[in-house]
Structure 1
Amino acid sequence: MPPLSPIPDGARVWLVPTPVGNLGDLTLRAIEVLRAADAVACEDTRRTGALLSYLGIRKPLVRLDAHTMRRAPQVLERYARLAYVSDAGTPGISDPGAELVQAALAADVPIEVLPGATAFVPALVLSGLDSARFTFEGFLPRSGKDRKARLSAVAARAETSILYESPHRLHATLTELAASCGPLRRGSVTRELSKRFEETRRGTLAELAAHFEAGTRGEIVVVVGGRPEGEADPAQPVTDPAEQARAWAAAGQGVRDIRDALMRQGLRKNDAYALALQVTQAQQP
């Protein structure tokens, strides 16, 4: 095995990916950089302190999270060779880090981003869905018009979409995705990547919503298949709401979810509720 390239001299900032689960995923280069840095900036000093202790590395720790990133210029002035880690994965991807890059660019400090752990790439491959073209959505807005707009974009998109989600919001998000994209759209949920209880469940969005109704635990990645060729754009009103409602009911969607989906497609609330009730009752034995 050839030796590692030497750590360059002079001031610089390193963004260092850390494992999303298994500590064995930390690269040799990441360890060398952490050893060479004057200090390690991080989201959580306790969590990063435990990682450095495991590696036998003693360095000053500086908290730079979403609430304290405004201090980045001062930290760069104090420490010429600064390593930055987020709690897990690659800094700057749904984690703090982009602001530090901007501060370093403004101060004309060289930047290196090390390749390494991230959650969405393994989850995409594990999904079995098309990985040639995809859009990474990160975390959706929690509510409001922005959330509805992003859900509509996922529904209309021809390529695969990837989202991060928290355990206690997973069922609600899957239910909304099933309503926006249609309950038969394919998807997957990967949780606890590289950990002991890693799991990937694949199926329709309606099946996934039903499976995770009782909740779950761990770090979660949701992958949603693109709109199949020839399928009507879900963002446009359907020509036959009753046919669409029957398909949703057959896939296991409840009255409220079907009502909300029909309302998004232009039906009035009372009409949407009446149709949702009719098709769900027709499914009962």
Structure 2
Amino acid sequence: MTGRLVLAATPMGDVGDASPRLRTALETADVVAAEDTRRTKALASALDVTITGKVVSFYDQVEMARLPALVADVAEGKTVLLVTDAGMPSVSDPGYRLVSACVAEDLAVTCLPGPSAVTTALALSGLPVERFCFDGFPPRKQGQRKTWLRELVNEPRACVFFEAPHRLADCLADAVEVLGGTRRAAVCRELTKTYEEVRRGTLSELAEWAAEGVRGEITVVVEGATIVASDPADLVDEVERLVADGTRLKDACALVATPGVSKRELYETVLASRKE
């Protein structure tokens, strides 16, 4: 028999979103590697499914230690099912290292598609999302978070990311400062769950709302930037502001440059401005 690794998306909240293939996989897998074994067993119970295989924990802190045994299980012909607490494995959750290890050994890897907070939030945002980027969780420290946000100043694609509820207000306040208060966004809370809520508006409006405190699982979508050609002289002040905050001049120019103004042209303009 040929073994395989199966990545399976699990419901974000409503167990009715579980696919028939997920039910079958939980019942028949030789090994179930779960981010939280208790939650996976609770899911199986809610689905009236009996897990017959071995259940092992597979969360961030034990991921590397578990790899050799799980890869060996697949190599021996077993089916290893990988599930996380909610959504798709590897998307800001454990998984990609196990996939990489199996691929390196030329072992079969497949996926059971299903719920994803990323695509669900994009669909509900009401923003143009034909092109988007996913950025996981923003940095926790304010300085690093602002640096990350500056990368989105001229990003034409919508950006979707997760955020902890207790950091959402600070994150949105920083976004107002860096991206401007008129940039549109959507905050999606508790997707598919009883208290699902989607707040749409400008960053300023959303920051004011979040300041009162927010609970639950959070996914944020920020609209892409509208890129227009600029006079490099109009961008000098923004570059100098970044430099004053500790960013190297070349890096600041790379962050502020637009399709209409190259970073080299902007760099030379800044130097010329300083001579004046």
| Same fold (TM > 0.5) | yes
- For structure 1, the 5+ residue unaligned runs are 1-8, 242-261, 269-285
1:205 aligns to what? 203
- The residue number in structure 1 matching 2:50 is 57
What does residue 105 of structure 1 align with?
A: 103
Partner of residue 152 from structure 1, selected from 134, 147, 150: 150
Partner of 2:90: 92
Is 1:76 aligned to residue 71 of structure 2? yes
What secondary structure does 1:206 align onto?
helix
Instruction: Kindly state the Cα deviation for residue 27 of structure 1 after the two structures are TM-superposed.
Output: 0.6
Alignment gaps of 5+ in structure 2: 247-276
Does the aligned pair in 2 maintain the 1:140–1:163 contact within 8 Å? Answer: yes
> In structure 1, what is the equivalent of residue 4 of structure 2?
12
Shift of 1:49: 1.4
Percent of aligned pairs with the same amino acid = 40
* Aligned residues of 1:156 and 1:181 also touching (Cα < 8 A): no
Q: Deviations over 1:31-76 (max 9, x none)?
A: 1122221010011111111112223212321011111111212123
1:189-236 Cα deviation digits (max 9, x unpaired) = 000101111111111101100001021111111111111243869xx8
Aligned partners of 1:132 and 1:113: how far apart in 2? 24
Letter in 1 for 2:165: P
Q: Distance in 2 between matches of 1:216 and 1:146?
A: 23
Whether contact under 8 Å (1:165, 1:222) holds in the other structure is: yes
C-alpha displacement at 1:263, in angstroms? 4.8
Question: Structure 1 residues 35, 231: CA separation in 2 closer, same or farther (over 3 Å shift)?
Answer: farther
Runs of 4+ in 1 over 6 A off after TM superposition: none
Q: Cα deviations across residues 236-262 of structure 1 (Å, max 9, x unaligned)?
A: 8466x9xxxxxxxxxxxxxxxxxxxx9
Note if contact 2:35-2:58 (Cα within 8 Å) is conserved in structure 1.
yes
CA offset at residue 140 of structure 1? Answer: 1.2
Q: What CA distance in whole angstroms lies between the structure 1 residues aligned with 2:217 and 2:241? A: 32
Distance 1:178 1:265 in 2: 20
Letter of the structure 1 residue corresponding to residue 218 of structure 2: I
Deviates more, 1:14-23 or 1:75-84: 75-84
Contact 1:237/1:265 (<8 A) preserved:
no
- Equivalent residue number for residue 115 of structure 1: 113
- Structure 2 match to 1:42: 34
RMSD over aligned Cα atoms = 2.3
Distance 1:142 1:232 in 2: 32
8 Å Cα contact 2:125/2:200 also seen in 1: yes
**CA distance in 1 between partners of 2:19 and 2:29 (Å):** 16
Quote the Cα distance in structure 2 between the aligned partners of 1:158 and 1:203. 18
Which amino acid is 1:172 matched to?
D
- CA-CA distance at 1:117 after TM superposition: 0.7
Do the aligned residues in 2 keep the contact of 1:64 with 1:72 (CA within 8 Å)? no
Q: Distance in 2 between matches of 1:91 and 1:34?
A: 15
Q: Matched residues in 1 for 2:152 and 2:5: separation?
A: 35
**Residue number in structure 2 paired with 1:196:** 194
Write the distance in 2 (CA, Å) between the matches of 1:217 and 1:144. 21
Whole-angstrom distance in 1 between the partners of 2:244 and 2:202: 24
One-letter code of the match for 1:72? L
Matches of 2:80 and 2:245 in 1, distance apart? 56
Q: 2:81 and 2:139 mapped to 1: Cα distance? A: 30
Secondary structure of 2:136 counterpart: strand
* TM-score normalized by the length of structure 1: 0.77
Which position in structure 1 is the counterpart of 2:60? Answer: 66
Report deviation, 1:148.
3.1
Q: 1:208 to 1:238 in 2, by over 3 A?
A: farther
Partner secondary structure for residue 197 of structure 1: coil
TM-score after normalising by structure 2: 0.79
In the TM superposition, what is the alpha-carbon distance from 1:108 to its structure 2 partner? 2.3
The number of equivalent residue pairs is 237
